[in-house]
Structure formats: C-alpha cells, structure tokens
C-alpha cells in the first residue's frame, strides 16, 4: 500500500468480525509484525522506553474491556498493552523525560496502527481505562506506566457497518498550519497530492 493511501485507510475500528461466537483469528505472525513496528520508533537518545504486552487470552481481554468500560473491546482478538519504563530516559534527561516518554509511546502506537492497517487488521487506540485495574489484570509493577491499549480485530464483514466505519473527517491543513509564527500566514492552496 502506498504511504498516503495507508494514512487515509487507517480508522478507529470498533466493530470486529465474530466467527462461531469468537473473534475472528489473527495469525501470531501478523500480531508480531504489528509489535515489531513499535520497535522501529524513534526514541530520545535511542533509549527504548516502551514495553508491550500482547494479550490474546479471552478472559483477560474481557477484563481489559471492563477496565476500559468499553464493551466493544471485549470483541477484540488481541490487545497490545503499551507500557513505559521511563527509568533510563529519566536518568539521561531529567525533567525533559516527562515530555519525551508519552511522545515516544504515541509514536510507537501510531506505527502499530499503520502496520495493522497495512495488514488489513482493524485497530483502535484506547487511552481511557483505569490504569490500576489494567496493572492488576496483567501483573504490571507500580513503577511502569500503562500508556494505552492497541485493540485489534478483523474488521466486521457487515457491509452497512463497514461503510460507517471510515476514518473521521480531519481538519483542513489551513486550520492547523501557520507559517513562521503562531497564527502566522496560512496555507490557502490545494494540498499537493491530496
Ligand atoms: C490518545 C487517544 C486516546 C483514545 N482513546 C480512545 C478510547 O478510549 N476509546 C475509543 O473508542 N477511541 C479512542 N481513541 C480513538 C479516537 O476516538 C479516534 O482516533 C478519533 O475519533 C478519530 O477517528 P479515527 O481514528 O477513525 O480517525 C483515542 C485516540 C487517541 C489518540
């Protein structure tokens, strides 16, 4: 898939295919490819702060759905729980680490969402959950931060639902881009290649 097409095809998928009462299977190879996309993320000082927990256990997925209070999450085939171990980054950068660490997690998450899209797998970034509950379910220690869950499943085959599941409209570039200073000149032309 071309890069622009990939960017435009990604959307938050919250309706997953269920086969014989279970979420449609995704091969381990594909799940590993998605995790590997997080490994390729830039990190301040090349100090890698992210740890991933790949969850495919049904009972745990149901518990994670409860911890996020989002019932659709229970229909996921897999959830990648993205954690930050910030110790080394804090040693290297002190206070600045607090800015770097969530940025790094976000970059890793977006890499994984794009890789999932390329593989035809539905994905959604989930940031709303009770962190303490997630930690308890997965045995995550106190000094580790749970950043997000990347919820994965095969997109529903229901055509009507599929049509509703397009990426949300995005702002015009002229509304988010200034030239040279805050509220500076705006871009009024047609975006090249768009
Ligand atoms: C930091 C962050 C947290 C999010 N948390 C949730 C969430 O808890 N539940 C959910 O359904 N979607 C969540 N989303 C997905 C957004 O709702 C979604 O990206 C947005 O509506 C735009 O839709 P799109 O992803 O289809 O372009 C989150 C996205 C981000 C970036």
Ordered by where they begin, the domains of the chain are 3-168 (3.40.109.10)
Model pLDDT, residue 1: 81
Model pLDDT, residue 193: 77
Model pLDDT, residue 160: 66
Cα(187) to centroid(ligand 1), Å: 27
Model pLDDT, residue 161: 67
Q: How many helices (H) and strands (E) are present in the chain, helices listed first?
A: 7, 8
What are the pLDDT tens digits along the chain (194 aa)? 899 999 999 999 999 999 999 999 999 999 999 999 999 999 999 999 999 999 999 999 999 999 999 999 999 999 999 999 999 999 999 999 999 999 999 999 999 999 999 999 999 999 999 999 999 999 999 999 999 999 999 999 876 666 667 778 899 999 999 999 999 999 988 888 77
Contact status, residue 109 vs residue 123, Cβ threshold 8 Å: no
Ligand 1 environment, Cβ below 6 A:
11-12, 14, 70, 124-128, 167-168
Nearest CA to 26 out of 76, 81, 82 is that of: 76
Cα(162) to centroid(ligand 1), Å: 17
Tell me the H-state helices in 80-187: 87-93, 97-118, 131-138, 159-164
Report strand pairing: 78-84 vs 145-153.
antiparallel
Model pLDDT, residue 162: 66
- Kindly report whether the global pTM for this prediction surpasses the value 0.75: yes
**Ligand 1 site-directed mutation target among 6, 64, 125, 152, most atoms within 8 Å of CB:** 125
Cα(28) to centroid(ligand 1), Å: 25
Q: Distance of CA 123 to CAs 113, 154, 190, Å?
A: 6, 8, 30
- Other beta carbons within 10 Å of 73: 23
């Amino acid at each position: 898939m071309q890069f622009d097409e990939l960017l435009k095809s990604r959307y938050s998928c919250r309706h997953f295919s269920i086969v014989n009462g279970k979420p449609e299977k995704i091969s381990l190879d594909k799940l590993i490819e998605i995790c590997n996309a997080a490994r390729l993320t830039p990190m301040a000082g090349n100090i890698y702060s992210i740890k991933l927990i790949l969850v495919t256990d049904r009972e745990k997925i149901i518990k994670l759905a409860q911890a996020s209070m989002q019932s659709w999450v229970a229909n996921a085939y897999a959830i990648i729980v993205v954690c930050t171990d910030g110790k080394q980054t804090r040693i290297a950068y002190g206070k600045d680490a607090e800015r770097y660490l969530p940025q790094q997690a976000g970059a890793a998450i977006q890499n994984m969402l794009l890789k999932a899209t390329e593989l035809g797998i539905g994905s959604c970034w989930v940031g709303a959950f009770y962190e303490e509950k997630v930690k308890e379910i997965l045995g995550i220690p106190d000094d580790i931060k749970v950043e997000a869950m990347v919820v994965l499943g095969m997109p529903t085959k229901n055509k009507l639902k599929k049509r509703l599941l397009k990426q949300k409209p995005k702002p015009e570039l002229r509304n988010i881009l200034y030239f040279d200073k805050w509220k500076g000149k705006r871009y009024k032309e047609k975006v090249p290649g768009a």
